[in-house]
Structure 1
Amino acid sequence: MKISVVVPAYNEEAAIGHCLDALVNQIVPVDEILVVDNNSTDRTAEIAEKYRDHGVRVIRETVQGLIPARNRGFDEATGDILGRIDADTRVEPDWSQRLAEAFADPTVSAATGPSWFYDAPLHRTGLAAQRLFCHRVNRMLSGHPMLWGSNMALTKECWQELRHHACPGPDIFEDLDLAIHLHRLGRKVHYADRLRAPVSARRIAGSLRDLHRYLRTWHRTYALHGQRKAAVGARAFKLAGLVFLFPSVALMLRAYTPDEGRLSLRKLLSRSSSAEARPIP
């Protein structure tokens, strides 16, 4: 079973090295790693090229957007299993091993697992929250399993069928879109709790306005696919999260110093923002 991993990247010079370090140091080596440079204007491609001797291949997609970059990577990957993570993902050392275990079941077409924020405090709480909001809530709303774009994989054979059904975007959650089409095609999505891939908290460390713009894509994706009840539910969860959870989480992230692993009152009161420390391209 050959495993390829696709990493779409746009202006990710601050994150891509850590991401690739985690991939090339797997307990069970990954067979192929494709970094899809999506018109970066920084050193993303240059940094990724340094990993060529570790099985990393840099390809370029000129059509801007996560979905074109993802599609290009999946199309060019040669593995039997096509993993997909973000450039700020840092997979656990046994990630590829857990991936192989998940696909040992020949009925599984796609697999996904949980994440937490490596640059935020309370890792166990973050893991529980991610399980709840990204997997269980979505499953409750839609009636079928989800995929988590920062930590997912599917078979090459499945992608070849799914490729012609997946929506082109751009204003959708691409992982939710894939999950919906997999369900409609009768494909089995397996949730593997031990398939874990920590990610950055930089998106929720940004402004309320930016987070709202990002999350509104959640219910829009459901609405686009005709799932009106799910869209209403997603909108309600989004508003509740922004009103009741975001203020306290934003303060905690502003005060957190990842290098020291502690909360700092001085950092909380400083003028520099967490959003500046965790830029989103």
Structure 2
Amino acid sequence: MKVSVIVPAYDEEAVIGRCLEALARQRMPAAEIIVVDNNSADRTAEVAAAFADHGVRVVREARQGAVHARNRGFDEACGDVLGRIDADTVVGPEWVAGVAAAFAADSATGLAPDAVTGPSWFYDVPLRRIGLSAHRFFCHRLNRLLSGHAMLWGSNMALSRQGWHRVRAHTCAAPGIWEDLDLAVHLSRLGMRVRYVDGLRVPVSARRIGASVGELYSYLRAWPRTYRLHGQRRAAWGAAVCLLIGLVLLRPCSLLVRAHTPYDGRLSPMRLLRRSSAARPLP
């Protein structure tokens, strides 16, 4: 089974090298690694191109937005399975093999899943076990409770090639939505199977949580908006309530994140005096 890995990237010079180094150290090498440069103004494409000897290919997508970058990467890929992570994801050496194994047919049904996903923890802040537990609950269990179907986590997911071709025309490109949640909604509506694999864990940066309250709200409001766009009113209301509660709960977490240097987790209390320690967000 060939696994392609797609990494959408927008101004990710600070993290893309570490991400690709981790992909280059896989026990089971990926068939290809596609970095989709989405109009970066920094050295993202140059850093990624330096990994050409490790199977990395850089393509450019002029239409701005994570959904367009993701679609371009999936369309370009040649693998039987299309993995997708973010540029700040640092996968362990067994990740590609774990993705391939997750697509094995279920012994009870004889059917393989159409997509797989797993949880994450934050590598640049302390209390990693708490972060993992929070991610399991908020990103996977809570969304399943609200919507009645599985969630996909864009930093740690994969689709079968056939599954992508089936769902491709149904996905939405509206601005201000979560493209991974949109994809999960359409997979569910088409009766396609998503397998959550708890052991398929990846570390990611907590940089977005370290943003200002305004920036964090701007990001999180896409959660209920995505549900509303798909007519899931109950899920949208639930997500809106959780968003407001989450902003209160995330404030002390934001201060904790801002007190640590992004990407390496070193304690730096002087960073609290800055307005925001978040890196430039994905569009």
Give the superposition deviation at 1:263: 4.5
Q: Distance in 1 between matches of 2:68 and 2:264?
A: 38
Which residue of 2 is the match for residue 162 of structure 1? 167
Q: Distance in 1 between matches of 2:271 and 2:64?
A: 36
Alignment of 1:249 with 2:253, yes or no, is yes
Alignment of 1:31 with 2:35, yes or no, is no
Change (3 A) 1:135 1:192: same
Identity of aligned residues (%): 60
Secondary structure in 1 aligned to 2:53?
Answer: helix
Q: Is the 8 A contact 1:67 1:170 kept in 2?
A: no
Secondary structure in 2 aligned to 1:145?
Answer: coil
Could you give the per-residue CA deviations for residues 41-94 of structure 1, whole angstroms, max 9, x where no partner exists? 110000000000100000111111111111010001000000011111111221
Q: Is the 8 A contact 2:205 2:263 kept in 1?
A: no
Q: Is the 8 A contact 1:117 1:198 kept in 2?
A: yes
Q: Distance in 1 between matches of 2:174 and 2:16?
A: 24
Q: Which amino acid aligns with 1:255?
A: A
Which residue of 1 is the match for residue 203 of structure 2? 198
Q: Is the 8 A contact 1:85 1:152 kept in 2?
A: yes
Alignment of 1:217 with 2:219, yes or no, is no
Alignment of 1:236 with 2:228, yes or no, is no
| Paired positions, count | 277
Q: Distance in 2 between matches of 1:57 and 1:259?
A: 24
Give the superposition deviation at 1:268: 5.8
Q: Which amino acid aligns with 1:69?
A: A
Could you give the per-residue CA deviations for residues 182-212 of structure 1, whole angstroms, max 9, x where no partner exists? 0111100000011111111111101000110
Which residue of 2 is the match for residue 59 of structure 1? 59
Which residue of 2 is the match for residue 280 of structure 1? 281
Secondary structure in 2 aligned to 1:256?
Answer: coil
**TM-score, with normalisation over the residues of structure 1?**
0.94
Q: Distance in 2 between matches of 1:129 and 1:108?
A: 25
Q: Distance in 1 between matches of 2:139 and 2:162?
A: 26
Q: Distance in 2 between matches of 1:256 and 1:91?
A: 21
Superposition RMSD on alpha carbons, in Å? 1.6
Secondary structure in 2 aligned to 1:247?
Answer: helix
Secondary structure in 1 aligned to 2:91?
Answer: coil
Q: Distance in 1 between matches of 2:81 and 2:60?
A: 21
Q: Is the 8 A contact 1:10 1:38 kept in 2?
A: yes
**TM-score, with normalisation over the residues of structure 2?**
0.94
Alignment of 1:207 with 2:209, yes or no, is no
Q: Distance in 1 between matches of 2:219 and 2:148?
A: 23
Could you give the per-residue CA deviations for residues 126-159 of structure 1, whole angstroms, max 9, x where no partner exists? 0000000000000000011110011000001010
User: 5+ unaligned residues in a row in structure 1: which ranges?
Assistant: none
Q: Is the 8 A contact 2:210 2:258 kept in 1?
A: yes
Output aligned runs, 1:1-281, within 5 Å.
1-105=1-105, 106-243=111-248, 245-257=249-261, 263=267, 266-267=269-270, 271-272=273-274, 275=277, 278-280=279-281
Give the superposition deviation at 1:97: 1.3
Q: Distance in 2 between matches of 1:257 and 1:221?
A: 32
Q: Is the 8 A contact 1:80 1:155 kept in 2?
A: yes
User: 5+ unaligned residues in a row in structure 2: which ranges?
Assistant: 106-110
Which residue of 1 is the match for residue 108 of structure 2? none
Give the superposition deviation at 1:258: 6.4
Q: Which amino acid aligns with 2:250?
A: F
